């Protein structure tokens, strides 16, 4: 069974919302690439369905159209077991597969298998990029001011890595290390460690939560992250404590574009102050900025752009 998540991200593809597929609402198209945690409509529907459930538990009957709203999982449980679609099928990542765990994904071996084997490609692999002064960041990714990115996956699960700017600024790296599985991350705390020779730098975490997986390849060869920052180069997977709160402190879309543009301007000014106006290779920054211009200073770059 192969995931087809990349197909669901193609431009102009019509993707029905989970609530529509469960027939809770008549028509609603997904506008968030099935990143339900970041979707206002999903949050509103969950809130109303919770309110209706509490009323029923009290022996009261919810009224009107609003009163007919139930959680999409409960609606699908009305179907025969063999007709209940797996959530990964509903999100257009795999062909039809019946759900065998009553939508309790945390207890599902296939859900774990899917994430272990395919999540980098079916969930994280970006299709469209913002290109800001030659630096890239995918659409749908959140960015922290310290140049760590975050991608929402399932529920409160997120994947974290380092952006193209940070990796070109300080790379190629020898090692990238994050706390081990079961350890805790804190938003704005320097929890990720980068090594290049005798130089070290810490990166601020974009999210708070518990580590559920790390990318072991980066502990032996950190330069892999620079080759593919937003998929194979992921650093850590986290179960977020309060994702809604943390996302408010991150940038996405136009905010990211403005931020990276300002960072590039600051970098040009720094290079020109230290090495002259021609040091930026005719206006284009290379892929190993520190290596080509060590006089700018590792610590200075880390403090100015990673804020650690």
pLDDT of residue 236: 94
Question: How many structural domains is the chain composed of?
Answer: 2
Do 203 and 101 lie in one domain? The reply is: no
* Backbone φ and ψ of 235, nearest 5°: -105, -45
Do 22 and 41 lie in one domain? The reply is: yes
pLDDT of residue 13: 55
Do 110 and 135 lie in one domain? The reply is: no
pLDDT of residue 115: 65
CA dihedral over 141, 146, 147, 149, signed as positive or negative: negative
DSSP string, 26-91: S--B-SSTT-GGG-HHHHHHHHHHHHHHHHHHTT----TTGGG---HHHHHTTS-GGG-B-HHHHT
Residue 223 CA to its chain's centroid (Å): 20
Give 3-state DSSP helix, strand, coil % of the chain, rounded to 5. Answer: 40, 20, 45
Do 78 and 189 lie in one domain? The reply is: no
The conformation of residue 93, written as its DSSP 8-state character, comes to S
pLDDT of residue 174: 95
- Which of 67, 86, 118 is the last residue in one of the domains? 118
Distance in Å from the first CA to the final CA of the chain:
44
The pLDDT averaged over each successive group of 10 residues in the chain (308 residues) is: 41 78 93 78 90 91 89 94 91 85 83 62 58 86 95 86 95 92 95 95 96 90 90 91 91 91 90 66 68 90 95
Q: Tell me the pTM.
A: 0.62
The closest alpha carbon to 142, from 121, 159, 119, 120, belongs to 159
pLDDT of residue 100: 87
Domain that holds residue 87: 5-118
pLDDT of residue 40: 81
Report the number of secondary-structure helices (H) and strands (E) in the chain: 13, 11
Do 147 and 247 lie in one domain? The reply is: yes
pLDDT of residue 9: 40
């Amino acid at each position: 069974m192969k995931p087809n998540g990349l197909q669901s991200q193609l431009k102009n593809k019509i993707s029905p919302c989970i609530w529509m597929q469960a027939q809770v609402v008549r028509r609603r198209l997904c506008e968030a690439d099935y990143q339900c945690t970041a979707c206002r409509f999903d949050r509103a529907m969950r809130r109303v369905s919770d309110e209706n459930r509490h009323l029923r538990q009290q022996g009261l009957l919810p009224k009107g159209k609003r009163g007919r709203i139930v959680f999409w999982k409960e609606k699908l449980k009305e179907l025969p077991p063999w007709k209940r679609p797996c959530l990964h099928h509903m999100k257009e990542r795999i062909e039809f597969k019946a759900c065998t765990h009553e939508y309790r994904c945390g207890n599902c071996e296939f859900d774990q298998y899917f994430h272990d084997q395919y999540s980098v490609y079916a969930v994280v692999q970006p299709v469209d990029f913002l290109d800001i002064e030659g630096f890239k960041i995918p659409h749908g990714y959140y960015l922290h001011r310290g140049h760590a990115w975050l991608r929402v996956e399932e529920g409160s699960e997120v994947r974290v890595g380092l952006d193209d700017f940070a990796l070109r600024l300080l790379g190629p790296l020898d090692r990238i290390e994050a706390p081990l599985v079961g350890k805790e991350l804190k938003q704005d705390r320097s929890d990720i460690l980068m090594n290049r020779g005798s130089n070290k730098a810490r990166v601020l975490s974009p999210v708070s939560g518990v580590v559920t997986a790390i990318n072991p390849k980066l502990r032996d060869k950190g330069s892999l992250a620079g080759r593919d920052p937003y998929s194979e180069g992921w650093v850590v997977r986290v179960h977020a404590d309060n994702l809604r709160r943390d996302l408010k402190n991150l940038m996405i879309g136009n905010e990211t574009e403005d931020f990276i543009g300002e960072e590039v301007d600051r970098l040009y000014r720094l290079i020109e102050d230290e090495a002259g106006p021609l040091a930026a290779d005719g206006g284009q920054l290379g892929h190993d900025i520190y290596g080509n211009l060590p006089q700018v200073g590792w610590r200075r770059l880390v403090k100015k752009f990673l804020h650690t």
